């Protein structure tokens, strides 16, 4: 547990482990390629394996290098983001595309008929994009900005943390439920209103910080109750991952406080997704009748919903249920298929957009009440129309940030865009995480990670607009807290019990 004072224990670097793993990376890569050749794979499949190995090395490199640093000095935002990218761009190649015989559709992208050479082209663009992100992160931003300290130096008190956490939770639920039951007109606000609605989720982060960072064990019942209510709402909404949103925020908060990534946490996270996914899918397709009913129906008939869900779970074979969930989870995590489809079809079948989908970004900040015909900043239906099932199917298909950059400006767009993405991550690290963790710093980091990394499968305008809106709302709250509650000094060292 991190505390406000005292000697730092367990805050030691592991340089030997880092050096051993750095040495093992090329050996493991050579072994994987040799195994691919010995298995009798054809040239296109061997190319897929080679590029998957290269992508894996790029993803693992910042994680391994971080082991050579003390936890208080680790670049945990970058490392954890590359864990997610490993799941998005490496795992699907090995477990979904490589075993396929002949053309295969990307999950959620019907009629794409991807061949191994198509996947390889998408992998190459992804490798260039992730390498460019690392290059952007390595830019000497602190020297360019000519400052000695970019971190948020003033922390929150326990009272302020608990009060703001509960208040944000209340306001978030008020806006969310008001929208669900039609009490808040759709044209009343824009993305700003949606950001406030997300406070029902973000309040859990502050309650978790009260427990993990400030040592307030008395806040555990509050956190537990909030997690239970939020998870039930996620299940009732028919969101396939909604039940895990709040628990996921709490786990992320713990990781950013401790600045350690444990393999068992990743395994448990994937397992939880595999267990929750089929139940969420049943809720959406059966109980909510393919989303023709809303969460309001579930809230009005909770007994019926729980009864039908219990009946469904009791009929399922546990092994088959878990395997179905695991397959669905791996498909949900896949971004490489979408990138490969876009790379293959652009500009041959779909012309470059030359920034058309990117300039949607500033429109997110204009309230719809002032611009009733404001276009949606998401491009999921456009992607479905042009790259997926076609205009007769209503579906919101996310292109991923890399895919969005490519469909606008090709490989050059990916290189430049991901370079800026890396610079943004480095700036976030310097502002929020350098030195001892603070409540506002960790709070903002978890929100940025959720919006920028976990939503990496969305288009760029949507992901970045949500990131900026959420971060801005929290910065406003931070300055209000400093004015009302005051603040306590930001201590220089990471202390642990």
Q: Alpha carbon 323 to chain centroid distance?
A: 23
Asked whether residue 494 carries a pLDDT value surpassing 70, the answer given is: no
Task: Count Cβ atoms below 10 Å from residue 193 Cβ, excluding itself.
Answer: 19
The three-class DSSP label of residue 380 is helix
In this structure, are residues 383 and 393 in contact, taking their beta carbons and an 8 Å threshold? no
Domain ranges of the chain: 261-333
Write down the pLDDT at residue 192: 73
Report residue 449's pLDDT band, with 50, 70 and 90 as the boundaries.
very high
Those residues with Cβ within 8 angstroms of residue 28's Cβ, 6 or more apart along the chain or in another chain: none
In this structure, are residues 465 and 228 in contact, taking their beta carbons and an 8 Å threshold? no
CA distance 52 to 79: 18
Q: What is the mean pLDDT of residues 260-286?
A: 88
CA distance 69 to 433: 14
Task: Count Cβ atoms below 10 Å from residue 441 Cβ, excluding itself.
Answer: 25
Q: What is the mean pLDDT of residues 295-305?
A: 90
- DSSP 8-state assignment for residue 487: -
Write down the pLDDT at residue 355: 93
CA distance 34 to 39: 9
> Bridge-partner residues for 2, per DSSP?
496
Asked whether residue 59 carries a pLDDT value surpassing 90, the answer given is: yes
Q: Which of 161-175, 315-329, 360-374, 417-431 has the lowest mean pLDDT?
A: 360-374
| Helices 76-89 and 400-432, packing angle to 10 deg | 160
Write down the pLDDT at residue 292: 82
The three-class DSSP label of residue 112 is strand
- Location of structure tokens 């990131």: 467
CA distance 476 to 480: 6
The three-class DSSP label of residue 171 is helix
Report residue 8's pLDDT band, with 50, 70 and 90 as the boundaries.
very low
Mean pLDDT across the chain = 87
Write down the pLDDT at residue 396: 85
Write down the pLDDT at residue 185: 66
Write down the pLDDT at residue 34: 93
Q: Considering only CA atoms, which of 260, 264, 266 is closest in space to residue 69? A: 260
CA distance 195 to 277: 25
Residue 114 φ then ψ, to 5°: -80, 135
Write down the pLDDT at residue 63: 93
Write down the pLDDT at residue 146: 53
Asked whether residue 255 carries a pLDDT value surpassing 80, the answer given is: yes
Confidence (pTM): 0.90
Write down the pLDDT at residue 193: 79
CA distance 338 to 388: 9
Write down the pLDDT at residue 6: 35
CA distance 459 to 440: 27
CA distance 485 to 367: 31
β-pairing, 488-489 vs 495-496, is unpaired
Task: Count Cβ atoms below 10 Å from residue 251 Cβ, excluding itself.
Answer: 17
Q: What is the mean pLDDT of residues 92-98?
A: 91
Encoding tokens for residue 418? 């991901």
CA distance 331 to 92: 7
Q: What is the mean pLDDT of residues 218-231?
A: 94
From the number of C-beta atoms within 10 Å of its C-beta (0-12, 13-18, 19+), residue 66 rates as buried
Write down the pLDDT at residue 189: 55
Q: What is the mean pLDDT of residues 282-298?
A: 87
Write down the pLDDT at residue 386: 92
Write down the pLDDT at residue 384: 92
Q: Is the omega angle on the peptide bond into residue 347 within 30 degrees of 0, that is, cis?
A: yes
CA distance 298 to 295: 5
Report residue 5's pLDDT band, with 50, 70 and 90 as the boundaries.
very low
Asked whether residue 417 carries a pLDDT value surpassing 90, the answer given is: yes
Asked whether residue 236 carries a pLDDT value surpassing 60, the answer given is: yes
H or E element, residue 114: strand 109-114
Contacts of 356-359 with C-beta under 8 Å, sequence gap 24+, read 356/408, 357/382, 357/404, 357/407, 357/408, 357/459, 357/460, 357/461, 358/404, 358/408, 358/460, 358/461, 359/461
pLDDT tens-digit map of 116-160 = 999 999 999 999 999 999 999 999 877 665 554 445 667 899 999
- DSSP 8-state assignment for residue 109: E
From the number of C-beta atoms within 10 Å of its C-beta (0-12, 13-18, 19+), residue 471 rates as buried
Residue 487 φ then ψ, to 5°: -155, 160
Q: Considering only CA atoms, which of 76, 199, 252 is closest in space to residue 474? A: 199
Write down the pLDDT at residue 349: 93
Asked whether residue 369 carries a pLDDT value surpassing 50, the answer given is: yes
The residue length of the chain stands at 497
């Amino acid at each position: 547990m991190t505390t406000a004072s005292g000697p730092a224990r367990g805050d030691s670097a592991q340089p030997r482990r880092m050096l051993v793993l750095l040495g093992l990376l090329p050996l493991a890569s050579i072994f994987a390629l040799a195994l691919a050749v010995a298995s009798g794979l054809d040239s296109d499949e061997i190319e897929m394996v080679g590029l998957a190995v290269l992508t894996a090395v790029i993803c693992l490199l910042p994680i391994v290098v971080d082991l050579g640093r003390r936890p208080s000095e680790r670049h945990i935002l970058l490392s954890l983001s590359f864990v997610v990218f490993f799941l998005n761009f490496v795992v699907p190649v090995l477990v979904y595309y490589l075993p396929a015989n002949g053309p295969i559709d990307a999950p959620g992208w019907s009629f794409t008929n991807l061949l191994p050479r198509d996947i390889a082209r998408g992998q190459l663009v992804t490798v260039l994009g992730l390498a460019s992100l690392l290059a952007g992160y390595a830019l000497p931003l602190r020297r360019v900005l000519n400052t000695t300290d970019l971190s948020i130096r003033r922390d929150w008190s326990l009272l302020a943390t608990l009060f703001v956490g509960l208040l944000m939770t209340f306001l978030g639920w008020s806006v969310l439920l008001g929208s669900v039951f039609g009490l808040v007109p759709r044209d009343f606000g824009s993305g700003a209103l949606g950001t406030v609605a997300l406070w029902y989720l973000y309040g859990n982060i502050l309650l978790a910080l009260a427990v993990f960072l400030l040592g307030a064990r008395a806040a555990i019942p509050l956190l537990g109750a909030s997690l239970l209510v939020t998870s039930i709402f996620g299940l009732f909404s028919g969101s396939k991952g909604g039940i895990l949103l709040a628990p996921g925020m709490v786990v992320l908060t713990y990781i950013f406080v401790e600045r350690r990534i444990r393999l068992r946490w990743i395994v448990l996270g994937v397992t939880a997704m595999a267990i929750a996914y089929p139940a969420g899918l049943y809720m959406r397709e059966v109980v909510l009748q393919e989303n023709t009913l809303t969460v309001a129906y579930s809230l009005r008939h909770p007994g019926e919903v729980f009864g039908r869900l219990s009946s469904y779970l009791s009929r399922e074979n546990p092994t088959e249920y878990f395997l179905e969930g695991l397959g669905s989870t791996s498909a949900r995590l896949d971004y490489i298929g979408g990138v490969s489809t876009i790379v293959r079809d652009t500009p041959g079948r779909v012309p470059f957009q030359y920034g058309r989908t990117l300039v949607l970004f500033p429109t997110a900040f204009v309230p719809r009440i002032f611009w009733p015909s404001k276009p949606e900043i998401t491009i999921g239906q456009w992607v479905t129309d042009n790259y997926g099932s076609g205009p007769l199917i209503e579906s919101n298909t996310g292109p991923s940030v890399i895919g969005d950059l490519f469909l606008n400006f090709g490989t050059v767009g990916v290189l430049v865009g991901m370079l800026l993405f890396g610079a943004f991550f480095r700036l976030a690290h310097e502002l929020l995480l350098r030195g001892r963790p603070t409540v506002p710093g960790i709070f903002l980091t978890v929100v940025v990670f959720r919006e920028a990394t976990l939503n990496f499968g969305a288009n760029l305008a949507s992901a970045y607009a949500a990131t900026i809106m959420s971060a801005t709302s929290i910065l406003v709250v931070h300055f209000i807290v400093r004015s009302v509650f005051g603040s306590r000094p930001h201590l220089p060292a990471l202390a642990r019990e």
